[in-house]
Amino acid sequence: MSPAAVEPAPLDARLRLLGADDRLDAPALEAQLAQLPGWSVRDGALERDYRFPDFDSAMAFAQAAARLAARQDHHPELRIEWGRCIVRWHTHSAHGITMNDVVCAALLDAPGG
């Protein structure tokens, strides 16, 4: 009998050990932002405006983002409109953007997000 598979901790939990919940300073944030095409900093959060051909597609994307957020135990602001979903990542406890937000933004853009 083989040992039971142990599911790894969510990426969020592993990153906390590495200071992922510390607010990024401006140079670190700029370096990370360069790796996130389509994302910008707006009002203290990483933000991206995704466009879709209809409301159902925007809602399906928002639901996929919600599943990612649940897996990572880190939840974005989502604004859903016809043909559009605006996603904002920031960490309240750090009063700004952390590496955890950057990772979640990258995961959302990754194939199979």
For residue range 70-83, list pLDDT tens digits in order: 999 999 999 999 99
**Does residue 113 register a pLDDT over 80?**
no
What six digits make up the tokens of 66? 């919600």
Structural domain for 73, as ranges: 24-109
* Structural domains of the chain, count: 1
5 inside domain:
no
Contact 21, 98 (CB under 8 A): yes
Which tens digit of pLDDT belongs to each residue from 48-97? Answer: 999 999 999 999 999 999 999 999 999 999 999 999 999 999 998 888 99
How far apart, in whole angstroms, are the C-alpha atoms of residue 14 and residue 40?
A: 25
CATH number of the CATH domain containing 98? 3.30.1360.20
9 inside domain:
no
13 inside domain:
no
80 inside domain:
yes
Average pLDDT on 17-34 reads 83
86 inside domain:
yes
How far apart, in whole angstroms, are the C-alpha atoms of residue 71 and residue 66?
A: 9
